[in-house]
Structure 1
């Protein structure tokens, strides 16, 4: 799975640094079609990327900056937003400019190699390391390898519903995702995330009646306030007039009822907001899922279920 990792994960490896240190190393990488990484220094007026790569400064011609740039299916913003960030590339040739060696690079080639590899090897249920690259109200865009993009829809981020993906993720965050499907004809990889954050029983195992813990209000109803204890676990607290969606609160756990998949809570106090989303706890980070069922054994409710075909 790590043959073509998300951009940034090769940058400081000894293999990458050694290949970028000498002309011989670059030639060897070019002959092997080895994917390397460097950091983009600037994007010039013609939208060529100038890249710092160890002992050398390389150039990625505009049409080689990403899959789809040459035919217009990828927008120019995909080039502009790379400035200051690591990118993956292959070395296409090494030119000599006034005595200085100038490697000519292709990010598009690295992306094509990564995408072909992923499309040919991935199966539904496989777990991938990915990096969050962009957040929209409808989902989180992630790098699945060499800058190849996929998206996790907001409904697949967690069991607990959230108003925006920034409640869970930050740009640049390294996370895991499960392959929901592979569309080889369209060259698309479909991802999900909630299944990696544990079942109801796995999440409730860290709590017990009598505890007072912190949570986040995720919905106000006439009959109570839903409070998220973990991204995949919520309970129902009695209404208080001062509670609002998104509030952090401390809650007293009155009861945990597996047969009804319910947690009864009592809101104690409002808490200051957090500066960043809480760290995620993953219950699985490798291997392959076949079936995921959220509800506990013997529960009358069906609960969420994912079958990876």
Structure 2
């Protein structure tokens, strides 16, 4: 059974590259129904995609470029936006141009339909899956969950620590993990991300009172400054002039209070910096979640996500 991964993960594999070594290799891939990947190089005026296959230029007709195009439920921007990016497809046949050039005929829609039927339709809330970031909007992060099929992680589901925009956490083409939050009508999948970044206790265990550590300023309020220590842990520092959202900071940890899920901080310094935060640490990368509780057992405040049950 094929492994239905986000687009871009297959293109540089030896098996994929081997398919373009000769016409006979392409014909074998056609006969076996293999899923291939190549870079789309042109979207013509009729919104057909032209694909770089080494010595050949394959064509994905408009109606075969994505699920829903033929029915009008998917807009043509889904085709146009694939130019200069990897696309998956199957070879459906070959035609010869008037000059004798062989033009492979391709279908991305067929691969997406198979991915939908054999993989996405089998997902249930709580499943942890692979995803690749495609683009970012103020309200959330769009990802490819398999063969170019899109899904959304709303901004408030990205992490416990609040961010002003998904770009604070992700970048296009980044490979991430996500957890299925819900299955929506029409086969769409709603995702979450924060449940994979650890509980309050797991994150707090990485820090100790008396340490001075790195952080990122996420919010400046009259009563204090919220500084993120990790994506699922932020603390409150006393007000300080000249501090701005997005700045990096060095902060002294006064105390960690699990009963109140609080971290008390003192800002030693805050400054602009060009470097990015450390790569995301996942506490969970595979399997299934029925229930995830962020709150420590000793806390009266309950923050949790229930994936199964009522």
Partner of 2:44: 44
The aligned residue for residue 170 of structure 1 is 171
User: What does the per-residue CA deviation read over 1:129-154, in whole Å, with 9 as the maximum and x for residues that have no partner?
Assistant: 11000111110000001100000001
Once the two structures are superposed, what CA deviation does each residue of 1:151-192 show, in whole Å capped at 9, x if it has no partner? Answer: 000110000111110110001111110111223x41111110
Correspondences of 1:174-213 after superposition (within 5 Å): 174-183=175-184, 185-213=185-213
Contact 2:182 2:191 in 1 (8 A): yes
Structure 1 residue 275: Cα displacement = 4.6
For residue 277 of structure 1, report the CA deviation from its aligned partner.
Answer: 5.1
Aligned to 2:141: 140
**Deviations 1:3-23 (CA, angstroms, capped at 9, x unpaired):** 110001000112212223233
Q: Contact 1:119–1:182 (CA<8 Å) still a contact in 2?
A: no
CA separation in 2, counterparts of 1:227 and 1:146? 38
Match of 2:155 in 1: 154
Maintained 8 Å contact 1:168/1:278? no
Q: Distance in 1 between matches of 2:277 and 2:141?
A: 14
Deviations 1:189-236 (A, max 9, x none): 111000011111111111111111121222223321111111100011
CA distance in 1, matches of 2:79, 2:27: 26
Cα distance in structure 2, aligned partners of 1:171 and 1:278: 17
Whether the 8 Å contact between 1:167 and 1:277 is mirrored in structure 2 is no
- C-alpha distance in structure 1 between counterparts of 2:7 and 2:156, whole Å: 26
Alignment pair present for 1:307 and 2:310: no
**Comparing 112-121 with 20-29, which one deviates more in the overlay?**
20-29
Distance 1:135 1:258, change over 3 A: same
Aligned: 1:270 with 2:270: yes
CA distance in 1, matches of 2:193, 2:77: 27
TM-aligned CA deviation for residue 278 of structure 1:
3.9
Equivalent residue number for residue 23 of structure 1: 23
- Per the alignment, residue 59 of structure 2 pairs with 59
Q: Deviation at 1:308? A: 1.1
| Alpha carbons of structure 1 residues 95 and 2: separation in structure 2 relative to 1, 3 Å | closer
Which residue does 1:234 correspond to in 2?
A: 234
- Residues 121 and 187 of structure 2 are in contact (CA less than 8 Å); yes or no, is this contact kept in structure 1? no
Residue 272 of structure 1, CA deviation: 2.1
Tell me the TM-score normalised to structure 1 length. 0.94
Partner of 2:111: 110
Structure 2 unpaired stretches of 5+? none
Structure 1 unaligned segments of length 5 or more: list them.
none
| Alignment partners' CA distance in 1, 2:116 and 2:125 | 16
The answer to whether the aligner puts 1:280 opposite 2:277 as a matched pair is no
Matches of 1:135 and 1:245 in 2, distance apart?
19
Q: How far apart in 2 are the matches of 1:150 and 1:221?
A: 33
Tell me how many residue pairs correspond in the alignment.
Answer: 307
Please give the secondary structure, in 1, of the residue aligned with 2:144.
strand
